[in-house]
Amino acid sequence: MSFEGKVVWVTGASSGIGEALANAFFKQGAYLILSGRRVAELERVAAAAPERALVLPFETTDYDALPQYVEQAWGWRGKIDVLINNAGVSQRSLALDTKLDVYRQLIEVDYLAPLALTQLVLPRMVEQRSGHVAVISSVAGKVGTPLRTGYCGAKHAVIGYFDGLRAEVEAAYGIKVSVILPGSVQTSVAVNALVGDGSSRGRSDANIDNGMPVETAAQIIVSGMAEGKREIPVAEGKELAALNFRTQDPERLFDMLAKEGARLAGLREAGGSTDPSDIRSER
C-alpha cells in the first residue's frame, strides 16, 4: 500500500523518529499533520513540503484541549487515514533513586496521552470504516531493563491497550493497529530522558549514539505499516536477541539483565550517582 494522498498525523514530529517518519511519508506524497510542543522545530520539518503540511502544536497530556486539536486535524482535509502516536519520553534512573512523580509523568506521556488521543480519533475512523493507528512502544515495552523501570512499565502498558484495541476494531471495522518496537535509535531520546528527580538527563549515552540511524528506523516502520503488520520490531543485534529470548528463553534473559543490574548497583554504591550509566560512559 502507498501512502500517497493519505492524511497522516504524527505526534512528536519535531525531532528524532517522528521527524524521520514525517520525511518518509512526505516522500510518498502523503499529507502530514505535525504535532509536538516546539513550534519552530515543527515548522522546520513542515518546510520539506509546506503545501502538504499542517503544523498543530500541543502538549499531549493537556487532555481537556485534545478534542479541539482532533477537530482541527480532522477538519483540515476532512479525514485522518493514519495516526502515529510517537511522542514520548524515556528514563535513566534506578528505581532506588526515582521519585513517584517521575513514574507518574512517564505513565502520562508514554501511556495515557497516546490512549487519550486515540480514543478521540477512533469513533471517526469507525464511522469512515477505515484507518490505521500506530504507537511507538519500544523493545523496553517487552523486556524490562535496568534504569528504565517507569519507562518499561508505560511502554508495556501501551502495548496492552493497542493489542486489545486491535482485537476490537480490526475485523469489526477494518481499522489497522500497529505496535512499533524500536531498540536503540540515534535520536535525542537519552538527552531528553528523565532522571530520578524529574529533571532531563541532558546528555546522550553510548547505546543510543551507536544505535540504528533514524532514517533506517523510519523506513522499517513505514514499510511495515504499508504491509499492514500488527507488530513491527525495529531492532538488531543484542536488542533483537533480547526480544526473541523474552519468549524463547526468559530465564536466560533475566539472568543477563540481573548481571547488568548488579553492575549498576555496584557503581551506585561506589559513586553514589543517580545515573550509573553515566559513570560507565565517563570511564
Ligand X SMILES: NC(=O)c1ccc[n+]([C@@H]2O[C@H](COP(=O)([O-])OP(=O)(O)OC[C@H]3O[C@@H](n4cnc5c(N)ncnc54)[C@H](OP(=O)(O)O)[C@@H]3O)[C@@H](O)[C@H]2O)c1
Looking at 187, 195, 253, 278, which residue binds ligand X (CB under 6 A)? 187
Distance CA 176, CA 273 (A): 44
Restricted to residues 53-82, the positions that interact with ligand X (CB under 6 A) are 59-61
Is 200 a residue that touches ligand X (CB under 6 A)? no
**What string marks each residue from 25 to 54 as x (binds ligand X by CB under 6 A) or -?**
-----------xxx--x-------------
The whole-angstrom separation of Cα 262 and Cα 267 is 9
Catalytic status, residue 161: no
Q: State the cell numbers at 163.
A: 493489542
Binding of residue 277 to ligand X (CB under 6 A)? no
Handedness of CA 160, 162, 163, 166 (dihedral sign): positive
Residue selected from 182, 196, 224, 276 as contacting ligand X according to rule CB under 6 A: 182
Q: Which member of 32, 53, 80, 136 binds ligand X (CB under 6 A)?
A: 136
Count of residues touching ligand X (by CB under 6 A)? 30
Residue 16 found at the interface with ligand X (CB under 6 A):
yes
Please tell me whether residue 225 binds ligand X under the rule CB under 6 A: no
First to last CA, the chain: 48
Under a CB-based contact definition with an 8 Å cutoff, are residues 181 and 139 in contact?
A: yes
Beta-carbon contacts of 32 under 8 Å, excluding residues fewer than 6 positions away, are 8, 9, 10, 13, 22, 25, 26, 46, 49, 52, 53, 54
86 binds ligand X (CB under 6 A): yes
Q: Least distance to ligand X from the beta carbon of 244, Å? A: 17
Q: Name, in order, each residue with C-beta under 8 angstroms of 214's C-beta and a sequence gap of 6 or more.
A: 16, 17, 19, 20, 185, 186, 187
List 88, 146, 196, 224, residue binding ligand X (CB under 6 A): 88
User: Which parts of 250-269 interact with ligand X (CB under 6 A)?
Assistant: none
Binding site for ligand X (CB under 6 A): 12, 14-18, 36-38, 41, 59-61, 86-90, 109, 136, 138, 182, 184-185, 187-189, 192, 208, 211
Annotated catalytic residues are: 151
